[in-house]
């Protein structure tokens, strides 16, 4: 009854591994470490460095560890990068996911949970966004994820024993309250991560991309969900599938949003640091408002968030940044000693 977590050394994947361990579920991790870190995987969790597109490797892992479910987090996630280099996103997010699905179905995997995104909705007609609203992504990132959802849908029709849930994330933020994991990729583009880096001195300033959106303060509005709550939503979805639930997709968010300036103000307030903020042009692929309609994830899966508070999310993110700074200082000290 082992769960295979792809991308389990990354930000969201590592929190999923912790949630599974905390729930007493056996887990194994596959990650190529392109954006993840092996030290985020607990020592007692089997870890394989490799590619999800390596079908021989994936099938061997499924057999050796008696895997019955796959939670798929591996992929590329930066919207502007997808606009600059769309083909790499279609390879990493779509082609590789197809290979993973094929290996899973060949090995008799019955349950599959996919890390999807609110970016599949593009510029929504209204908010909050419900799952049945038009899927019209405006970035290759969103399209690459939507194409994977289509493949899952069609595979489930062709293979009735195979069921799936696609969880469409809104903006994920925060860190494990016990500081066992957090957003660690230095080039991460998450707003709360970047603002926390400015507050802790890792960055000299923060840039606001676009101040002329049709919102109250002219900046984009997003629905921010704590990463630990998101991991719990996956557990609820897994329990749903294992109980015989039908394949479906669901939004993951809290149902209300904050503007970019709201977030910056919150980070300044919680940290007590007044860092520099600069304005910059809009980025391609950024909708004005994305707020989740979350009735389905609550009613169908029984998900109830525990950390739906902006100051709590920001506080956890700041605590993780401070811990990362200590870790970096220790590594640099050890490197000097080694020389």
Q: Please list the active-site residues.
A: 141
**Number of Cβ atoms within 10 Å of the Cβ of 216:** 10
Q: CA 35, CA 29: separation in Å to the nearest integer?
A: 14
Q: CA 84, CA 75: separation in Å to the nearest integer?
A: 16
* Inter-residue contact 249 to 277 (CB < 8 Å): no
> Which has the closest alpha carbon to 2: 138, 156, 109?
109
Q: CA 267, CA 279: separation in Å to the nearest integer?
A: 17
Q: CA 29, CA 5: separation in Å to the nearest integer?
A: 5
Q: CA 73, CA 9: separation in Å to the nearest integer?
A: 10
Residues 6+ apart with CB under 8 A from 150: none
Q: What is the secondary structure of 275-303 as a DSSP string?
A: -EEEEEPPPTT--SEE-B--HHHHHTT--
């Amino acid at each position: 009854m082992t769960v295979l977590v792809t991308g389990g050394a990354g930000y969201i994947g590592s929190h999923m591994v912790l949630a599974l361990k905390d729930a007493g579920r056996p887990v194994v991790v596959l990650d190529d470490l392109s954006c993840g870190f092996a030290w985020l995987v607990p020592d007692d969790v089997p870890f394989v460095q490799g590619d999800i597109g390596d079908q021989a490797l994936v099938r061997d892992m499924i057999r050796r560890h008696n895997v019955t479910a796959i939670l798929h987090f591996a992929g590329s996630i930066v919207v502007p990068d997808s606009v600059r280099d769309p083909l790499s996103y279609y390879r990493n997010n779509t082609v590789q996911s197809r290979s993973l699905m094929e290996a899973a179905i060949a090995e008799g995997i019955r349950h599959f949970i996919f890390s999807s995104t609110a970016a599949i909705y593009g510029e929504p007609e209204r908010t909050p966004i419900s799952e049945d609203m038009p899927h019209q992504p405006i970035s290759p990132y969103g399209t690459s994820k939507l194409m994977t959802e289509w493949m899952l849908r069609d595979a489930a029709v062709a293979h009735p024993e195979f069921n799936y849930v696609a969880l469409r994330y809104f903006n994920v933020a925060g860190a494990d309250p016990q500081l066992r994991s957090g957003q660690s990729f230095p080039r991460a583009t998450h707003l709360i991560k970047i603002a926390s880096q400015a507050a802790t001195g890792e960055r000299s300033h923060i840039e606001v991309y676009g101040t002329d959106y049709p919102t109250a303060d002219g900046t984009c509005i997003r629905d921010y969900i704590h990463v630990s709550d998101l991991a719990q939503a996956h557990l609820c979805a897994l329990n749903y599938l294992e109980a015989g639930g039908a394949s479906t997709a669901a939004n993951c968010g809290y149902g209300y949003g904050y503007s970019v300036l709201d977030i910056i103000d919150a980070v300044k307030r919680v940290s007590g640091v007044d860092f520099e903020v600069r304005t910059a042009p809009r980025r391609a692929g950024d909708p004005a408002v994305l707020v989740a309609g979350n009735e389905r994830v609550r009613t169908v899966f029984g998900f109830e968030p525990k950390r739906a508070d902006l100051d709590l999310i920001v506080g956890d993110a700041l605590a993780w940044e401070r811990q990362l700074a200590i870790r970096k200082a220790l590594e640099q000290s050890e490197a000097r000693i080694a020389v």
